[in-house]
């Protein structure tokens, strides 16, 4: 009997300690995830009456406003730029990033130096790099090209014809070392005996990458591709750091527009329902694609084949 009571006391003690561990994070999650997202859905169906200072049910008015926004010239440009950015990020930048990580993983010439340099953008503020980059492409490079060609070359940043591509290039340049540590971690977990066996078969640098490394780190790659797709409508392309809230319409992305409006309207309660509705619509559009992509990657994982 004493033993049973002692066991009960121990289990009760463990339970109380367990509750002590999980209570605060659970409460935080309930408020700042569940309630915030529930409130977001509620806000999307409301409008703020400035006369009565109260929210009122607005049916689908906010959603109509969102569709009107994306049907407008500015909205279409934002969508177009978001997709262009996603294409360059996922189709061009991501493969280059993986290849660079592979080069570092193989410990080739200056690999350790490149590893540090690729990691630098994770340490140095993007804002700082943008400040310096803007002056280089606006003043420095045009001066060199003007001297070389004898013709006046406009600043790449202020020139409307090159502004978007200048910003896009920066985003890809600064993002080359993105997720470097994650890729290196995944590559490091590849069984050495598999690599040795491949080398005995005469596989070289790229052959090992294509036939062994890529398939074995496929789950990591697919995670970042899915993240890239999930982030199509949130990626600002560093525009707020380039232009603050004054970016011209032709370079804006959806992510930039949403953050800019959040910043400008942070004290304007009446603007929040529209932004919530926009977020809800974009979430509803994105989620099925993300789940479909995940399903496809799981089904066609080369290691499961």
Partner 1 sequence: MKTTKGKFQVVQWLLFLLLAVYAISMIYVLIWGGLNSFKSERDFLINKNYFGLPEKWQIENYTHVMGHMFVPINRGGTLIKVNVFGQVIYTLMYAGGCCFVGALSPFLMAYAYTRFNFKFNAVIMNVMLVVIALPIIGAETSMLSVMHGLGIYDTFFGIYAVKFGYANLYFLIYIGTLKGISKEYTEAAYIDGANEMQILVRVILPLVKNVFLTICLIYFIAYWNDYSTPLVYLPGYPTFAYGVWYNVFVSTTPDMNKTTLKMTAAMFLIIPMLIVFILFRKKIMTNLSTGGVKE
Give me the phi and psi of 57, to 5 degrees please.
-65, 130
d(CA 19, CA 267) in angstroms, rounded, equals 37
Least Cβ distance, residue 168 to partner 1 (angstroms)? 16
Closer residue to partner 1 in complex, CB, 127/296: 127
Question: What tokens were used for 53?
Answer: 């200072």
- Please provide the size of the chain in residues: 305
Closer residue to partner 1 in complex, CB, 72/298: 298
Beta-ladder partners of 46: 57
Closer residue to partner 1 in complex, CB, 87/291: 291
Rg of the chain over all Cα atoms, to the nearest angstrom: 26
- Rounded to the nearest angstrom, the gap between the alpha carbon of residue 64 and the centroid of all alpha carbons in its chain is 27
Least Cβ distance, residue 33 to partner 1 (angstroms)? 7
Q: Is the Cβ–Cβ distance between 48 and 270 less than 8 Å?
A: yes
Q: Is the Cβ–Cβ distance between 235 and 83 less than 8 Å?
A: no
Least Cβ distance, residue 164 to partner 1 (angstroms)? 19
Burial class (CB in 10 A: 0-12, 13-18, 19+), 242: buried
Closer residue to partner 1 in complex, CB, 86/211: 211
Least Cβ distance, residue 185 to partner 1 (angstroms)? 4
Least Cβ distance, residue 13 to partner 1 (angstroms)? 7
66-72 long-range contacts, CB within 8 A, separation 24+: 66/274, 66/277, 66/278, 66/281, 67/281, 69/278
Question: What tokens were used for 72?
Answer: 């407008």
Closer residue to partner 1 in complex, CB, 164/257: 257
Question: What tokens were used for 258?
Answer: 């949403």
Q: Is the Cβ–Cβ distance between 248 and 166 less than 8 Å?
A: no
54-57 and 46-49 as β-strands: parallel, antiparallel, unpaired?
antiparallel
Closer residue to partner 1 in complex, CB, 87/245: 245
Q: Which of 287, 285, 276, 305 is nearest to 58 (CA)?
A: 276
d(CA 49, CA 155) in angstroms, rounded, equals 47
Least Cβ distance, residue 194 to partner 1 (angstroms)? 12
Least Cβ distance, residue 174 to partner 1 (angstroms)? 9
Closer residue to partner 1 in complex, CB, 52/288: 288
Least Cβ distance, residue 230 to partner 1 (angstroms)? 4
Closer residue to partner 1 in complex, CB, 59/199: 199
Closer residue to partner 1 in complex, CB, 74/96: 96
Least Cβ distance, residue 27 to partner 1 (angstroms)? 9
């Amino acid at each position: 009997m004493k033993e049973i009571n002692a066991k009960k006391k121990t289990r009760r003690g463990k339970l109380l300690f367990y509750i002590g561990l999980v209570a605060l994070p659970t409460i935080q999650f309930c408020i700042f995830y569940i309630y915030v997202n529930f409130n977001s859905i509620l806000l999307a169906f409301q409008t703020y009456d400035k006369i009565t200072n109260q929210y009122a049910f607005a049916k689908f008015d906010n959603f109509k406003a969102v569709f009107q926004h994306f049907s407008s010239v500015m909205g279409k440009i934002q969508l177009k730029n978001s997709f262009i950015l996603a294409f360059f990020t996922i189709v061009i930048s991501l493969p280059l990033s993986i290849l660079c990580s592979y080069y570092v993983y193989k410990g080739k010439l200056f690999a350790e130096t490149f590893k540090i340099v690729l990691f630098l953008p994770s340490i140095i503020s993007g804002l700082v790099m943008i400040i310096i980059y803007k002056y280089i492409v606006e003043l420095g490079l045009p001066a060199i090209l003007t001297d070389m060609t004898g013709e006046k070359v406009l600043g790449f940043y202020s020139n409307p014809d090159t502004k978007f591509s200048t910003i896009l290039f920066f985003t890809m340049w600064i993002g080359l070392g993105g997720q470097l540590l994650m890729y290196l971690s995944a590559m490091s977990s590849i069984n050495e005996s598999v690599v040795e066996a491949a080398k005995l078969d005469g596989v070289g640098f790229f052959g090992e990458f294509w036939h062994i490394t890529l398939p074995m780190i496929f789950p990591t790659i697919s995670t970042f591709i899915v993240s890239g797709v999930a982030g199509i409508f949130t990626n600002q392309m560093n525009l707020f750091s380039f232009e603050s809230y004054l970016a011209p319409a032709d370079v804006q992305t959806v992510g930039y527009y949403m953050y800019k409006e959040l910043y400008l309207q942070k004290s304007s309660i009446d603007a929040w329902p529209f932004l919530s509705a926009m977020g809800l619509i974009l979430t509803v559009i994105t989620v099925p694609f993300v789940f479909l992509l995940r399903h496809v990657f799981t089904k066609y994982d080369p290691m499961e084949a």
